[in-house]
A and B are shown apart, each in its own frame.
Chain A
Amino acid sequence: MRGAEVEREFIEAGKPDHPSLIDPTFVVPELYNTRNVPAVFWIDESGTIVRGNDPVYAVRRNRETGESTTNERYLEAVRDWVRNGPSSIYVTQPAETQRRVGSSDDANDQAMAHFRLGVYLDRHGHHGEAVTQFKQALALKPENWNYRRQAYNLGSADEYGMTMQEAMQAVGPMYAVPLELPDPPAG
């Protein structure tokens, strides 16, 4: 089972009351310069990013035990932003927002071209050619976990000569920009 049908299972199990969109060609990771999922962005009423690239899930479900954990601290930060807008302590200042969102990266831009071509090729039954493109993407930007996770998901780690564990040891952590939430004010 691939693509939208996999996502459908997750979306329907989650029963969200917000729109869940399907992005099979990775339009948004390209536009938003992300390196992994989850990646959460706060966009204000004027279309400005006021907090970005948070590596959080609101709710995490343990696939083995079925137990759900809600990230209450993050949800409270979101509610605070909804109530207080730009004066919320959880909104980041532009320089900090820019640091988290990341800036122009020629290697990743070129890697993204190979990756998106690979995604297309795999979807159209050209797996070998897709692997060639994924390898080029990973050679250029080994720390882009979107590429590695998707490539391994469509094939296997064997095709890339490195398990996910080995990659983490060689390349670094899965989330380069950790979540840093200020403490809520006392009282």
Chain B
Amino acid sequence: MPATILTSDSESVAADARRDGDALWLRNDELLATTGWEIKPEGVCRGELCVPLPEDRAGALLTERDGATWLDVAGFASFVGLDTAHDAATDTWYFGPGPAEGRGQLSMLEAPDFELPDLEGRMHRLSNHRGKKVLLALWASW
């Protein structure tokens, strides 16, 4: 069944997701496309960061099906401590950033990087302004 997968910086659909109780199974290709995580021999990896799965966990979180490897991404998120929210009615899931992202930077007073559009749709990336002082002002119309 299609599941909408939201992360801190993406929104996409995993067309072949399978729900089973609390588990959300994604095939490796859809896992990578929607979350940036990928099943590798070293474990479940995102870029250079790999989380090895202990044997007892690997059995519960990984499965082979139809010639591909699948991960219970909900179970994995719980295992690595990603904050998760889920709406059953619309099969929409949100997986928060891991401890290596955002929160770790902020505790070292490194300004977390981001890229956002202006009203004309031009993208602006904070780190492109390195070498200058930046005043970052968060506001809302409420």
Mark A residues whose CB is within 8 Å of B.
Answer: 4, 6-11, 19-23, 25, 27-34, 37-50, 57-58, 78, 81-82, 85, 94, 97-98, 101, 103-104, 109-110, 112-114, 116-117, 120-121, 124, 126, 129, 132-133, 136, 146, 149-150, 152-153
Contact of A57 with B90 at beta-carbon distance under 8 Å, contacts A117-B85, A136-B85 already known? no
Kindly identify, within residues 80 to 111 of chain B, every residue whose CB is under 8 Å from any CB belonging to chain A: 83-87, 89-90, 92-97, 102-103, 106-107, 109-111
Instruction: Return chain B residues, CB-CB under 8 Å to A101.
Output: 106, 109
A10 (CB) vs chain B CBs: closest residue: B141
Contacts of B138 in A (CB 8 A): 28-29, 32, 34, 37-41
Q: Which residues of B contact A37 (CB under 8 A)?
A: 138-140
Say which residue of B11, B93, B103, B117 sits within 8 Å of A21 (CB atoms): B117
Q: Are B142 and A126 in touch, CB under 8 angstroms? A: no
Residue on B nearest A11 in the bound complex, by CB:
B119
Q: A37-B138, A44-B133 are in contact. Are A121 and B87 (CB under 8 A)?
A: yes
Query: Do A120 and B6 touch (CB < 8 A)?
Result: yes
CB distance from A107 to the nearest CB of B (A): 10
Taking the nearest CB of chain B, how far is it from the CB of A51, in angstroms?
Answer: 10
Closest-CB distance, B119 to chain A (whole angstroms): 6
- Please name all residues of chain A whose beta carbon is closer than 8 Å to the beta carbon of B130 when the two chains form the complex: 45-47
Instruction: From known contacts A45-B130, A47-B130, A117-B94, infer whether A40 and B136 are also in contact, taking CB-CB under 8 Å.
Output: yes
If A112-B83, A126-B87 touch, whether A47 touches B111 (CB-CB below 8 Å) is: yes
User: Is B109's CB under 8 angstroms from A21's CB?
Assistant: no
Q: Does B133 contact A82, Cβ atoms closer than 8 Å?
A: yes
**Chain B residues with CB below 8 A from A44, complex form:** 133
Contact B8 A129 (CB under 8 A): no
Asked whether A43 and B133 contact (CB < 8 A) given A8-B119, A98-B109, the answer is: yes
Closest residue to A108 on the B side, CB-wise?
A: B83
Q: Which residues of A contact B103 (CB under 8 A)?
A: 33, 104, 109
For the residues of A in contact with B, the DSSP-based class is: helix
| Given A8-B119, A40-B136, A40-B137: A126 in contact with B112 (beta carbons within 8 A) | no
Q: List 5 A-B contacts (CB under 8 A).
A: A42-B136, A113-B94, A116-B8, A121-B87, A133-B87
| In the complex, B132 has a CB within 8 A of chain A | yes
Least CB distance from B116 to A in Å reads 4
Contact A149 B140 (CB under 8 A): yes
Complex CA distance for A28 and B83, rounded to whole angstroms: 17
**Chain B residues with CB under 8 A of A104:** 103, 106-107
B84 proximity list for chain A (CB < 8 A): 113
